[in-house]
A and B are shown apart, each in its own frame.
Chain A
């Protein structure tokens, strides 16, 4: 677990100190003719492509062997340049020891080249001739496209996905296979390979299709064999281009206020004709599956109160809030003003409050506080949601300094990318009669999926008694100034009569 020392804040210049040491996401830049040295060999590679959600979730398990004479610790994983920005939640672990946490990964930018790389640093260099099993998992956003692109309002929707039978790797691979998991067995079109292996390819078993195993020891690096599958997915393809999430800590009020602003779009097939309310009314009665987004369910933590759902023109009266019990947690049912069909947009805002005591702890004997909050919540939908950009702002009390953060890592993936792929910055925000402004920690992540729903964020900060008393004292001083001013002005005699 890496601890992220964010910054030590001076009381007077919070924003200045912030910018210097908190920024991460440094990209190593390499010249365009860069090729990773052939120091590894992939002995066996199994790729699982999961298409059950509206985004592609891939896990690659690969046995890597060091074929060099020196111990090696840098393993390159290539992606096409147009894909790498849409790769979310990239994580590499030692498959044999997942509890040890993720490996450090940095992004490598190769100038004007077809392939870009993720660079995995092994914690301990791999000795020559020895092997390690890597578990690589990531999701690829916006890689599914509906075909046909326009459908009737009650028609089934089909998505296509294209990939290469030979996985793109920086190193020679001996054997490899790809498993596809479809949401249903309705797969009208798929590529059947010819001459790559003996027997039928792919092998079909229910909703699981397997391409391979292929013997690729002799195949040149970078060889592609395009495969396209087309399968039924009569669900919305929910894509959120931007999510802004504010967590406001109020120590005086004992309240943690959360507000999230969504810019949502349904990337499903568009309507061939225009929207027909009659058809929609009838199909809603039958609860027929549809590619339109009818409702979002948003589970909230137990004890969430004052939930609201508004958009640019006011309260969305079709929403419903179910407080639930202490165990089940609350549920916010968000029904947009209109059904969101393919190509339609909807932007909205939700918010609620929680009791701060469940999230904030004071470190005994010091002025330090530890705040543990969900990094990210978001609606929970069976078909999954993809987030192109997520900006989380943690608004700490006025005068908070020495801010550090970390994300909680477990034995399995938390859906977030590594800490150095989270862009962090500190700023100050003036609101509610602040004098200094509140210390605000801003975390930005690109390409997330709703798998990160359970990720937790821990923020520690220092907050002294003077910081706590600052506001009442300024208010007192301000009001005193006003009264003294009024008294003074009232005592000035401005009459033009003779005295």
Chain B
């Protein structure tokens, strides 16, 4: 071709390569920018605020780290939570997240850029999701020779709702950095297996250590890499590359992970980590066998191998059982069991089951979170089978395992998303590579071929196989583009509507369409912060513990850490019992204020009365004789709060605190609970031991002050009755011992 367009100069030859490299960088940067931008909905719509529950703890811990330095953070004993027990916070958290934002904060301070630590925390997750997209590009490029696969995977990862759900701005949780670390560790692992290099293995271990410090989900890596190696061994693909990378990773990575106080000796004592240790032993044996094979004749080697395998399996298995029984190796954790049996948690650990993100995934959720990636996913896995190299084995194992886990727990959709993006990108790039190429076979060479092969049969004369019709190319390209556009639209819609609400601030619309913000949580928390003594103890259900610690800055009894089930059950018992039972519990725990969430006025369904059954269940788990779930259901098995509510319900502290004085907002007898859609008894419940201290504007938060002991030594029942001017009941007559009448 004589004529050369200006584009050819850029796209061909050595300058073409660098142009493509530049384009690639620009595309990647754009993808990263899109990934960051799509997570900023909540900042633009609301403000730069920490979301939900757990992030408030992480934020508080980060502030502590920034203010008090690393060492006191490491040794942090927090006496403002779990009153009166306290919590060894420094030793019971994954510090990676806080340390990361602390480091970023100090670097910015060093450059004298005055950034608030809150903004660092809020924007950490979007920032790291940009990095995740880059890591995804690297990982996928290892899987495929196609130039487009990596870019596609990066784009998918950047905007897939399954990942966005945990990484919008303000969602300052461990997952914010953990997914990046997960993907990047896997990339380094693939690189190590491919090259058999100690350097890549050591890097894998380094990032594995970082991952351990950041998220409890590191166990996924701890089990996936050994599984990969094990499958490779079973497939007879043992090589020195695998040996070098695995042993390097295991030795360094385990040592690294043991530096985290919360993990400590778990890697050698916990069953969750045993597979890595087992495979480590196995690969030594295999390496030894491989070494010996070079010196021995086949027959003897066979005998040696069989006996060795039998011996080690027997020894290993026996040792494992022995250590498990003797208690040196901890048994599987409860959360682990609930991974295999979805009903397990509901029966044995109500506290795990009560969290919505631990519920099994509903099928539509897969489509909701992954859109068209979910049907490209099997295709991509199939393509891995076609070209089965070591790294493709990894993809297959990852895909199978994480599909199962994602089905068991909603939360684990997060670990499925990366591999879906990889597989979908592999599939889609396969299609695009075939259909987007414009070239046709050259008619001249074709004619030549025809002349040469004129003797053979007609169908075989034309060896050029492929799709050359412009029509089919156009149709396929168009439909793929359509799917891609729909995917973008879907992701934006899901992010905007489902995942960008801070849940601390609720938004609704005014009649004229302007935004109206319901800010009751912060109203009440700020009231607590400003107008109560600094060490006033607040009792609430554990959901709000972290928020109270973060926003109200007051000590709490229980929080979202849920490490002490009994303490939570105590709170549950106080909430679900009569005042006479609850008051001593409140006094014993130095409670000054009790906080309940009540959505009846506004129709806010996430309130405490709707969670009440979990409180009852958890309390029943510890005090089966005193709190009974059955008592809160009517004879017909209904959970009611109106006139027909059971006595246990109507006398429970939670019920009383929710509806106290609520009736006086309405004309007599017309009080309605808008959440449960029922009328409310006409008379306000009587509270004797608590007094209403604060109720937020829309009644979402109600705070009650625990009364001090009566000055005259009366019980509160009598004191309140006296204040109301009621006649004193003749206690002597009524309370006298019952005497059996004999006449």
Within 8 Å of chain A (Cβ to Cβ): is B664?
yes
CB of B691 within 8 A of CB of A312, answer no
Within 8 Å of chain A (Cβ to Cβ): is B124?
no
Within 8 Å of chain B (Cβ to Cβ): is A273?
yes
Bound-state Cα–Cα, A189 to B522, Å:
42
Closest 3 CB pairs of A and B: A277-B695, A317-B517, A337-B523
CB of B661 within 8 A of CB of A312, answer no
Within 8 Å of chain A (Cβ to Cβ): is B238?
no
Q: Chain A residues near B476: list those with CB within 8 A.
A: none
Bound-state Cα–Cα, A17 to B519, Å:
49
Task: Identify A313's interface contact among B114, B526, B661, B699, CB under 8 A.
Answer: B526
Give the nearest-CB partner of B46 in chain A.
A315
Q: Chain B residues near A278: list those with CB within 8 A.
A: 661, 664-665
Q: Which of these binds chain A: B389-397, B449-457, B527-535, B574-582?
A: B527-535
Within 8 Å of chain A (Cβ to Cβ): is B113?
yes
Q: Which of these binds chain B: A41-49, A172-180, A343-351?
A: A343-351
Q: What does the 1/0 interface line of B110-144 toward A look like (CB < 8 Å)? A: 01111000000000000000000000000000000
Within 8 Å of chain B (Cβ to Cβ): is A191?
no
Give the nearest-CB partner of A274 in chain B.
B693
Bound-state Cα–Cα, A307 to B528, Å:
26
- A-B contact sample (7 more), CB < 8 A, given A274-B691, A274-B694, A337-B522: A274-B692, A274-B705, A277-B694, A313-B525, A317-B505, A338-B523, A338-B527
Give the nearest-CB partner of B49 in chain A.
A314
Q: Chain B residues near A344: list those with CB within 8 A.
A: 530-531
Bound-state Cα–Cα, A337 to B526, Å:
8
Q: What does the 1/0 interface line of B18-30 toward A look like (CB < 8 Å)? A: 0000000000000
CB of A345 within 8 A of CB of B531, answer yes
Bound-state Cα–Cα, A281 to B664, Å:
11
Q: Chain B residues near A431: list those with CB within 8 A.
A: 112, 114
Bound-state Cα–Cα, A432 to B109, Å:
9
Give the nearest-CB partner of B524 in chain A.
A338
CB of A432 within 8 A of CB of B47, answer no
Q: What does the 1/0 interface line of A313-350 toward B look like (CB < 8 Å)? A: 11111100000000000000000011000011111000
Bound-state Cα–Cα, A343 to B530, Å:
10
Interface hits, B688-728 → A, CB 8 Å? 691-697, 699, 705
Give the nearest-CB partner of A437 in chain B.
B112
Q: Chain A residues near B695: list those with CB within 8 A.
A: 275-277
Within 8 Å of chain A (Cβ to Cβ): is B551?
yes
Within 8 Å of chain B (Cβ to Cβ): is A383?
no
Q: Chain A residues near B551: list those with CB within 8 A.
A: 313
Closest CB in chain A relative to B369 CB, distance in Å: 29
Chain B at the A interface: SS class: mixed
Bound-state Cα–Cα, A413 to B522, Å:
42
Q: Chain A residues near B691: list those with CB within 8 A.
A: 273-274
Bound-state Cα–Cα, A317 to B696, Å:
14
Q: How many A-B residue pairs have CB under 8 A?
A: 71
**Interface size of B in residues (CB-CB distance below 8 Å):** 32
Q: Chain A residues near B49: list those with CB within 8 A.
A: 314-315
Q: What does the 1/0 interface line of B574-606 toward A look like (CB < 8 Å)? A: 000000000000000000000000000000000
Bound-state Cα–Cα, A31 to B111, Å:
53
Bound-state Cα–Cα, A274 to B693, Å:
5
Q: A337-B522, A345-B531 are in contact. Are A434 and B112 (CB under 8 A)?
A: yes
Bound-state Cα–Cα, A318 to B531, Å:
19
Give the nearest-CB partner of A431 in chain B.
B114
Residue of B665, B693, B697 with most chain A CB atoms under a 10 A cut-off: B697
Q: Chain A residues near B523: list those with CB within 8 A.
A: 337-338
CB of A314 within 8 A of CB of B522, answer yes
Interface hits, B40-64 → A, CB 8 Å? 46-49
CB of A281 within 8 A of CB of B517, answer no
Closest CB in chain B relative to A284 CB, distance in Å: 10
Q: Chain B residues near A345: list those with CB within 8 A.
A: 530-531
Q: Chain B residues near A430: list those with CB within 8 A.
A: 112
Q: Chain A residues near B46: list those with CB within 8 A.
A: 315
Q: Chain A residues near B522: list those with CB within 8 A.
A: 313-314, 337
Q: Chain B residues near A338: list those with CB within 8 A.
A: 523, 526-527, 694, 696-697
Q: Chain B residues near A434: list those with CB within 8 A.
A: 112
CB of B699 within 8 A of CB of A277, answer yes
CB of B519 within 8 A of CB of A317, answer yes
Within 8 Å of chain B (Cβ to Cβ): is A433?
yes
Interface hits, A247-296 → B, CB 8 Å? 273-278, 281
Bound-state Cα–Cα, A345 to B534, Å:
13
Interface hits, A410-461 → B, CB 8 Å? 430-434
Bound-state Cα–Cα, A179 to B194, Å:
96
Task: Identify A433's interface contact among B111, B519, B527, B697, CB under 8 A.
Answer: B111
Bound-state Cα–Cα, A16 to B705, Å:
53
Within 8 Å of chain B (Cβ to Cβ): is A244?
no
CB of A275 within 8 A of CB of B694, answer yes
CB of A432 within 8 A of CB of B530, answer no
Residue of B47, B531, B693 with most chain A CB atoms under a 10 A cut-off: B531
Closest CB in chain B relative to A338 CB, distance in Å: 5
Within 8 Å of chain B (Cβ to Cβ): is A311?
yes
CB of A432 within 8 A of CB of B694, answer no
Bound-state Cα–Cα, A311 to B551, Å:
11
Q: A277-B695, A337-B526 are in contact. Are A432 and B112 (CB under 8 A)?
A: yes
Q: Chain A residues near B525: list those with CB within 8 A.
A: 313
Give the nearest-CB partner of B118 in chain A.
A314
